[in-house]
Amino acid sequence: MKFSDIAGHNDTIQALRGMADAGRIPHAILLSGISGIGKFRLARAFAQYIHCSNHINGDSCGVCPSCLQHQNLNNPDLHFIYPVVKRDGTSVSKDLIEQWKEMLSDWSYMPPEKWNEIIQAGNSQPAIYVNESEDLIARASLSAYQENFKIFLMWLPEKMRPEAANKLLKLIEEPYDDTLFILVSNDDSKVLPTIFSRTQRFRMLPLSSGDICSHLTLNHGISDGIAAAASKIAEGSMGKAEELACHPDEILEFSALFKETMRMAYGLKASRLKSISEHTASMGREKLLRFLAYCGRMVRENFIYNMKLPQISMMTPEEEEFSLKFSPFIHEGNVEKLSEDISKASSDIERNANAKIVMFDLMLLLSQGVRTPKPTRLPI
Ligand SMILES: [Zn+2]
């Protein structure tokens, strides 16, 4: 991964490169921001830059032995730490290295739900356990094999168990001279304060739709129309945009299905609602989750539209056309309940509940919600 492979984030790239060029690399860095904006890609690019022996135009060369090892995910001085589930003797990152390589190659924007899927986490929540810290301390005490720095790249430090974090504290506080920790967090408010306070922090912002759009067309060869639609509705996350752009027909399909659902819900057409719930249940879990995410977004967007704040609306022109008529039905009297009902259905599906039942229940709740009258304001 090179800096030139990173979409957006020019300020952070410049700051990191400046520290490396000046030989003033801190011992612990925290990159944080919402999921899917490329933080882990940037951490990888920075690690490669530090190890590269032949910088070209402010970037790593991509061809020296270190760069090749980085690209093949086998540089002996680059260590990855990530959440795992404990089972069958698995308790530390290196036990899942093959799955990890699959994740980095196929899902470099690191959606956590994909990681859960790859490691078949099921209902378990992956975490970074105390054995990981012990393993890491042992690795850190050895000198670097070939590079000037041993780099520990930790994905999701917020998943560190308190015992694991306490064990690591001393190492982060008094590190070996040749050790660098790069922590990459989707939610830095959940990183333990003792760790958080010992890092140099960079908050990274969601990507602009322009950055997302050009990345999709240049790097994935996606057509301008699809890229523009996906970038508009991805809410600054390249991870989401890539997923949307991988399923271009879904944007249209979901939009038609959402309109139909809302019309039938408002008209209380029970038999039609039942067939919609059966149809959506048969989509399969992953697609159904994407549809529910779409519904949640449309409820939010229509509320924003109803509030007459089109400048912060993130809808495609077709969606906006529907909202002209539909948005008055989403207001302060029902927006919260509708959003909650949709996200509850989503977590039930994630937990493998019966999709037909969940979706039919949701249809009834949507009917109730969308028919809730707008509260009248009291005259002051
Ligand atoms: Zn190089």
Measured in angstroms, how far is the CA atom of residue 236 from the centroid of ligand 1? 30
- Dist CA 175 CA 136 (whole Å): 12
Mean pLDDT along residues 154-174: 91
Q: In which residue are the tokens 């910088």 written? A: 55
Average pLDDT over the chain, rounded to an integer: 90
CATH number for the segment(s) 3-203? 3.40.50.300
**Ligand 1 centroid to residue 42 C-alpha, Å:** 16
Q: What is the whole-number distance in angstroms between the Cα of residue 11 and the centre of ligand 1?
A: 22
Lowest mean pLDDT among 157-171, 176-190, 243-257, 344-358: 243-257
Q: What's the pLDDT at 170?
A: 85
* Residue 186 pLDDT exceeds 90: yes
Q: Calculate how far, in angstroms, residue 238's C-alpha sits from the geometric centre of ligand 1.
A: 26
214, 229 contact by CB (below 8 A): no
Quote the ligand 1 centre to 75 CA distance (angstroms).
Answer: 12
Nearest-angstrom CA–CA distance, 40 and 155 = 7
Determine the distance separating the centroid of ligand 1 and the alpha carbon of 252, expressed in angstroms.
44
What b/e readout covers 101-135, taking b as 16+ CB neighbours within 10 angstroms?
eebbeebbbbbbebbbebbebeeeebbbbbbbbeb
* Of 258 and 318, more confident: 258
Quick: pLDDT tens for 87-132: 877 789 999 999 999 999 988 999 888 898 899 887 788 999 999 9
Q: 310 vs 376, which has greater pLDDT?
A: 376
In angstroms, rounded to a whole number, what is the distance separating the alpha carbons of residues 32 and 38? 10
Q: Where are the domains of the chain?
A: 3-203, 208-246, 249-370
Q: Identify the weakest region by mean pLDDT among 91-105, 186-200, 214-228.
A: 214-228
Give the pLDDT confidence score for residue 378 in this predicted structure. 65
Mean per-residue pLDDT, 355-365: 96
Residue 32: its pLDDT value, please? 97
Ligand 1 center–CA 69 separation, angstroms: 9
Q: Measured in angstroms, how far is the CA atom of residue 353 from the centroid of ligand 1?
A: 49
Q: Of 68-72, 136-140, 300-304, which has the strongest mean pLDDT?
A: 68-72
Q: Please give the average per-residue pLDDT across 143-161, as a whole number.
A: 89
pTM exceeds cut of 0.85? no
Q: What's the gap in Å between 17 CA and the centre of ligand 1?
A: 14
Overall average pLDDT of the 277-286 stretch? 91
Is residue 311 over pLDDT 60?
no
CA of 41 to the centre of ligand 1 (A): 16
Residue 287 banded pLDDT, cuts 50, 70, 90? confident
Q: How far is the CA of 70 from the centre of ligand 1 (A)?
A: 9
pLDDT at 9: 95
Q: Cα of 333 to ligand 1 centre, how many Å?
A: 58
Going from the Cα of 48 to the center of ligand 1, the distance in angstroms, rounded, reads: 7
38 in Cβ contact with 238 (< 8 Å):
yes
213 CA → ligand 1 middle, Å: 29
pLDDT at 50 over 60: yes
pLDDT of residue 74: 93
Beta bridge partners of 179: 150
